[in-house]
């Protein structure tokens, strides 16, 4: 069974304090690993897709990396507007496009 | 990115009534859409896969007679919660894929009194 575990559950940072969020996964053949941002009361917002080990993608203060067992979301010099829940999901190879989500990391960035 | 809308954004109903939620892909066509449910402080749980022109595929433990899904066109899927009860109160979110990446709607908050 495909599984995704995210850590930590919650993370509090001061503005400008860089850190990383972890996503460990087990999947029977990875098609893609996805990162989303979710604000309270809203649907997830797509951030990145990673397809193979060693791949990296960047967007503003965020950088996502992928190994064969885990992915990291690095946040450099975060700002209060980066506060949100960050969700990791995996999609297995095969006919289905469904995603399996982790429980998320709630990030709070204090000014 | 691709845009997905949902309507209504919020609904309050009495126990025993049925509620319909619409999910639309605004700038692309989607032969497949997904319906998720999210309880407070929990992650998204896939309920079912909506297939245009054929029956929906439900995840284990989801009652197909309670959660009716209709994929009427390449841009519209509907979820009807029949005979809703307070335990059905939740945040319902749909998504549609573009090249394997799923784009999510803004969600519908259902409260059953």
pLDDT band at B32 (very low <50, low <70, confident <90, very high): very high
Q: Would you state the pLDDT for residue B42? A: 86
Chain B residues in contact with A7 (beta carbon < 8 A): none
Report the share of chain B in percent with pLDDT over 90. 88
Q: Would you state the pLDDT for residue B28? A: 93
Looking at chain A, which residue has its C-alpha nearest residue B3? A45
Q: Do A97 and B103 touch (CB under 8 A)?
A: no
Three-class SS of chain B: CCCEEEECCEEEECCCCCEEEEEEECCCCCCEEEEEEECCCCCCEEEEEEECCCCCEECCCCCCCCEEEEEEECCEEEEEECCCCHHHCEEEEEEEEECCEEEECCCEEEEEC
Which tokens belong to A88?
A: 């990791």
Q: Do A41 and B107 touch (CB under 8 A)?
A: yes
Give the separation between CA B25 and CA B33, rounded to whole angstroms.
9
pLDDT tens digits, one per residue of B13-29: 999 999 999 999 999 99
Looking at chain A, which residue has its C-alpha nearest residue B32? A97
Q: Would you state the pLDDT for residue B48? A: 96
Which tokens belong to A79?
A: 């700002």
Mean of all residue pLDDT scores within chain B: 94
pLDDT band at B6 (very low <50, low <70, confident <90, very high): very high
pLDDT per residue as tens, chain A (111 positions): 889 999 999 999 999 999 999 999 999 899 999 999 999 999 999 999 999 999 999 999 999 999 999 999 999 999 999 999 999 999 999 877 889 999 999 999 999
Q: Would you state the pLDDT for residue A94? A: 84
pLDDT tens digits, one per residue of B40-57: 888 899 999 999 988 999
Q: Do B106 and A43 touch (CB under 8 A)?
A: yes
């Amino acid at each position: 069974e495909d599984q995704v575990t995210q850590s930590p559950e919650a993370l509090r940072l001061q503005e400008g304090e860089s850190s990383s969020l972890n996503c460990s996964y087990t999947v029977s053949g990875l098609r893609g690993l996805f990162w989303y941002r979710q604000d309270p009361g809203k649907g997830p917002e797509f951030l990145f897709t990673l397809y193979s080990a060693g791949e990296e993608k960047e967007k503003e203060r965020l950088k996502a990396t992928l190994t064969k067992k885990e992915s990291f979301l690095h946040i450099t010099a975060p700002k209060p507007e980066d506060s949100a829940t960050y969700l990791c999901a995996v999609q297995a190879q095969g006919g289905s496009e469904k995603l399996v989500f982790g429980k998320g990391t709630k990030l709070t960035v204090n000014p | 990115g691709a845009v997905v809308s949902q309507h209504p954004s919020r609904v309050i109903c009495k126990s025993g009534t049925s509620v319909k939620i619409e999910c639309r892909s605004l700038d692309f066509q989607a032969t497949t859409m997904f319906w998720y449910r999210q309880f407070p402080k929990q992650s998204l749980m896939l309920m079912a896969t909506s297939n245009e022109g054929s029956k929906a595929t439900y995840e284990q433990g989801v009652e197909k007679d309670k959660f009716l899904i209709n994929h009427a066109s390449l841009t519209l899927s509907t979820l009807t919660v029949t005979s809703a009860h307070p335990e059905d109160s939740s945040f319902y979110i749909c998504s549609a894929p573009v090249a394997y990446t799923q784009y999510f709607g803004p969600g519908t908050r259902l409260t059953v009194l």
